[in-house]
């Protein structure tokens, strides 16, 4: 299994300086943001698609440092009811898929999207309760009228370009836990899978190891990001915390770099579970830790995960006979 980094944490650096930093850290792969909420600081798909020479230089810079691209990541909401949001996000998604094909990248990471709660809504509606029954009806409308039809079409588009869709289970979108991820996969196409990010599961009370076993071979990509549950605020406020992320002292939970949240043993168990279900690709570090600097958090995550990851593929010949 390889260690990688999701590049937005180094988005303040020039492209090649960012690549040099990753090489110095000893990681082997890079996940590249290509639009939507995560921005496109180092990768503007429309420009690269329109300029073959620029595309060649982009790819050569990565290859020259011995890095591989684990995924392109276009985290947007093309189901947003406001076309001023959904239009650019849809265009970024389409350009990202086309660019992935050009680069020979198999996986595009994204969100499921979230429409309004009905055809006349002006803003997205994330429903977290089945009662009053208006909420349950809204969820079924979102899935049957917007989400499933959209992903049937877009999964076919992605497949035509040789691309798998790795949907990140993220609260605030229709797919935010494993059961929903498999529901969408089963309702659309087999190239719709999961970008597994345990940080969004920890605070919901979901066990990542059990979730990995449940999702099995639908896991196409993995984010290494942690979450710390606050022992003072959580018992008072619960997990549905809408206070700003910047209010670290007042929140029920906050994102942490790997090494500052759950113990190393938890990450070892996740690696073992990933290997059990056949995932042996990349653990891509995502750093969104408000208590650690860019370099501090990234270095700590790399150090921790290097201790966790088995550097060689297990040789089972000795016990299989």
Hey, is 2 helix, strand or coil? Answer: strand
Pick from 303, 269, 272: which is nearest to 285 by CA? 303
CA dihedral for 64, 70, 72, 75, sign (positive or negative): negative
Query: In which element (H, E) is residue 93 found?
Result: helix 83-103
119/216 Cα distance (integer angstroms): 35
Q: Return the CATH architecture of domain 2-320.
A: Alpha-Beta Barrel (3.20)
Alpha helix ranges (H) inside 42-82: 45-50, 52-64
pTM of the complete model = 0.95
What phi, psi does 21 have (nearest 5°)?
A: -65, -45
Per-domain boundaries in the chain: 2-320
Mean pLDDT (whole number) for 289-312? 87
- Residue in the structure block whose two tokens are 């020479």: 53
Residues paired with residue 73 on neighbouring β-strands, in sequence order: 33, 109
pLDDT recorded at residue 317: 52
Pick from 165, 169, 234, 238: which is nearest to 208 by CA? 169
pLDDT recorded at residue 79: 98
Q: The tokens of 286 are what?
A: 């995502």
pLDDT surpasses 70 at 313: no
What percent of the chain shows pLDDT beyond 90? 94
pLDDT surpasses 90 at 316: no
318/315 Cα distance (integer angstroms): 7
69/48 Cα distance (integer angstroms): 15
Q: The tokens of 177 are what?
A: 């836990």
What percent of the chain shows pLDDT beyond 70? 96
181, 215 Cβ separation under 8 angstroms:
yes
242/175 Cα distance (integer angstroms): 19
In the structure, what pLDDT confidence band is assigned to residue 314 with cuts at 50, 70 and 90? Answer: low
Residues paired with residue 253 on neighbouring β-strands, in sequence order: 229
- Residue in the structure block whose two tokens are 């690696």: 271
Give residue-wise pLDDT tens across range 201-254.
Answer: 999 999 999 999 999 999 999 999 999 999 999 999 999 999 999 999 999 999
Size (the chain), residues: 321
Q: The tokens of 278 are what?
A: 């056949």
The three-point CA angle 222-224-226 to 5° equals: 135
Pick from 201, 207, 245: which is nearest to 227 by CA? 201
pLDDT recorded at residue 312: 47
304, 268 Cβ separation under 8 angstroms:
no
Mean pLDDT (whole number) for 188-197? 98
pLDDT recorded at residue 294: 87
CA dihedral for 291, 34, 216, 319, sign (positive or negative): negative
- Eight-class DSSP state of 103: H
Q: The tokens of 44 are what?
A: 């503007």
Residues 6+ apart with CB under 8 A from 254: 227, 228, 230, 245, 248, 289, 290, 291
Which has the higher per-residue pLDDT, 151 or 310?
Answer: 151
Mean pLDDT (whole number) for 185-190? 98
Give residue-wise pLDDT tens across range 257-277.
Answer: 998 999 999 999 999 999 999
Mean pLDDT (whole number) for 186-210? 98
In the structure, what pLDDT confidence band is assigned to residue 310 with cuts at 50, 70 and 90? Answer: low
């Amino acid at each position: 299994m390889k260690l990688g980094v999701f590049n937005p944490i180094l988005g303040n650096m020039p492209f090649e300086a960012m690549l040099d930093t990753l090489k110095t850290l000893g990681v082997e792969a890079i996940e590249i943001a290509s639009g939507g909420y995560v921005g496109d600081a180092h990768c503007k798909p429309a420009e690269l698609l329109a300029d073959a020479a620029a595309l060649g230089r982009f790819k050569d810079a990565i290859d020259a440092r011995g890095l591989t691209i684990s995924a392109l990541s276009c985290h947007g909401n093309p189901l947003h009811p406001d076309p001023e949001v959904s239009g650019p996000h849809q265009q970024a998604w389409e350009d990202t898929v086309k660019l992935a094909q050009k680069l020979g990248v198999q996986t595009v990471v994204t969100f499921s999207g979230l429409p309004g709660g009905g055809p006349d809504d002006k803003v997205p509606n994330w429903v977290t309760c089945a009662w009053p029954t208006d909420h349950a009806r809204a969820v079924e409308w979102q899935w049957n009228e917007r989400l499933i039809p959209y992903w049937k079409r877009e999964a076919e588009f992605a497949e035509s370009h040789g691309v798998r869709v790795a949907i990140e289970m993220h609260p605030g979108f229709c797919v935010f836990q494993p059961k929903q991820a498999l529901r969408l996969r089963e309702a659309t196409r087999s190239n719709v899978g999961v970008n597994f990010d345990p940080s969004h599961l920890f605070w919901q009370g979901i066990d990542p190891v059990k979730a990995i076993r449940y999702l099995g071979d639908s896991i196409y990509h993995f984010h290494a990001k942690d979450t710390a549950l606050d022992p003072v605020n959580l018992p008072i406020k619960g997990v549905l915390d809408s206070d700003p992320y910047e209010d670290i002292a007042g929140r029920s939970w906050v994102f942490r770099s790997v090494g500052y949240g759950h113990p190393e043993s938890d990450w070892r168990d996740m690696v073992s579970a990933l290997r059990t279900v056949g995932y042996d690709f990349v653990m891509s570090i995502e750093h969104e830790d408000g208590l650690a600097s860019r370099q501090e958090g990234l270095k700590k995550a790399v150090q921790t995960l290097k201790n966790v990851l088995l550097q060689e593929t297990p040789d089972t010949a000795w016990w299989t006979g």
